[in-house]
């Protein structure tokens, strides 16, 4: 059984995170001279412990036959995606437990133009902060009526919409008393599986932000704020769900942070 953290321990960890962040900003935060902007996280961000083991150390390997890689990936046709896929509250016989929410947004390019017909996927923990995965042994209840996965295609305006349950926080053993803020994982596939981009959407005013190394690996404050959805009352459905807006910008200076090499 782990020893509870004192306030002094928490303050010391926050100070260490802040010191490391300032060093990375000064060094360009891109690691090994790759010229990336300072707000982009290092692939081996120390406080996020698994990146030390998992980050790439060798140059990328150029494929001799790029088309062969496309054949190895999954294929999604327009007819495969239904309205039920985007409503995670209606995928089972009964309703899931938790706070029902709707998330609206647009997928945009660097010039603010809509990116049409893109497959957007989400996956998340349930309201108790647990995934229906065999390796998730967090002692929180599973919800038999919530699988936590969904997908949709963007419309002509680049828009997407999901109805789901607000996920709970959960422990993740990265460090003592480590808890992940509530978040939803997003992926955008582009025109091929090998172009897949993955990111996370957070919720406003989460008290766990200062303690989360993944969130704080993004050292630029403006970039971090782009990872947080905005509550919009006009998107809430009366007596049904609370509404959030979160746009995804694929590249450029206003790009949404994507999880490179993770």
In SS3 terms, the chain reads as CCCCCCHHHHHHHHHHHHHHHHHHHHHCCCCCCCCCCCCCCCCCCCCCCHHHHHCCCCCCCCCCCHHHHHHHCCCCCHHHCCHHHHECCCCCCCCCCCCEEEEEEEEECCCCCECCCCEEEEECCCCCCCCCCCCCCCCCCCCCCCCCEEEEECCCCCEEEEEEECCCCEECCCCCCCEECCEEEEEECCCCHHHCEEEEEECCCCCCHHHCHHHHCCCCHHHHHCCECEECHHHCECCCEEEEECCEECCCCCCCCCCCCC
Dig out the tokens for 233 from the structure: 């009352």
Residues belonging to the active site:
131, 170, 180, 183, 185
The per-residue pLDDT for 167 is: 98
6, two tokens: 């004192």
What sign has the CA pseudo-torsion 114, 120, 126, 130? negative
The per-residue pLDDT for 227 is: 95
pLDDT value, residue 199: 93
pLDDT of residue 83: 83
Tokens 């480590």 label which residue? Answer: 178
Q: What is the mean pLDDT of each run of 10 residues along the chain (262 residues)?
A: 50 52 44 45 74 76 70 65 92 95 96 93 97 91 95 95 97 93 93 79 97 91 94 96 96 82 44
- Predicted local confidence at residue 6, as pLDDT: 54
Nearest of 109, 116, 186, 194 to residue 155 by alpha carbon: 116
- pLDDT of res. 253: 83
The residue among 52, 107, 51 whose CA lies nearest residue 259 is 51
Provide the token pair at 27.
């060094």
Query: Which residue from 49, 262, 51 is spatially nearest to 173, judged by alpha carbons?
Result: 49
Q: Is 102 exposed, middle or buried (0-12, 13-18, 19+ CB in 10 A)?
A: buried
The partner residues of 153 in beta bridges, in order of sequence, read: 119
CB 254 within 8 A of CB 110: yes
């Amino acid at each position: 059984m782990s020893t509870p953290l004192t306030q002094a321990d928490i303050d010391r960890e926050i100070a260490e995170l802040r010191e490391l962040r300032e060093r990375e900003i000064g060094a360009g935060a891109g690691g090994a001279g790759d010229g990336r902007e300072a707000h982009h996280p290092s692939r081996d961000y120390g406080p996020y412990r698994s990146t030390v083991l998992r980050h790439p150390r060798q140059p990328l390997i150029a494929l001799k036959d790029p088309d062969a890689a496309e054949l190895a990936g999954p294929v999604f046709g327009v007819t495969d995606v239904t309205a039920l896929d985007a409503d995670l509250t209606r995928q089972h016989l009964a309703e899931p437990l938790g706070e029902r929410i709707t998330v609206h947004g647009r997928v945009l390019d660097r010039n603010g133009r809509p990116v049409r017909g893109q497959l957007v996927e989400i996956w998340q923990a349930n309201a108790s902060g647990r995934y229906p995965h065999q390796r998730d042994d967090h002692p929180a209840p599973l919800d038999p009526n919530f699988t936590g996965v969904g997908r949709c295609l963007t419309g002509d305006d680049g828009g997407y919409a999901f109805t789901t349950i607000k996920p709970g926080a959960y422990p993740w053993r990265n460090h003592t008393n480590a808890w992940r803020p509530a978040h939803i994982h997003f992926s955008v596939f582009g025109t091929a599986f090998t172009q897949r981009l993955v990111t996370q959407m957070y919720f406003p005013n989460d008290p766990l932000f200062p303690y989360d190394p993944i969130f704080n690996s993004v050292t630029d404050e403006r970039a971090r704020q782009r990872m947080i959805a905005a509550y919009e009352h006009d998107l809430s459905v009366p007596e049904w769900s609370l509404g959030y807006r979160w746009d995804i910008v694929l590249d450029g200076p206003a790009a949404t942070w994507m999880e490179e090499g993770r």
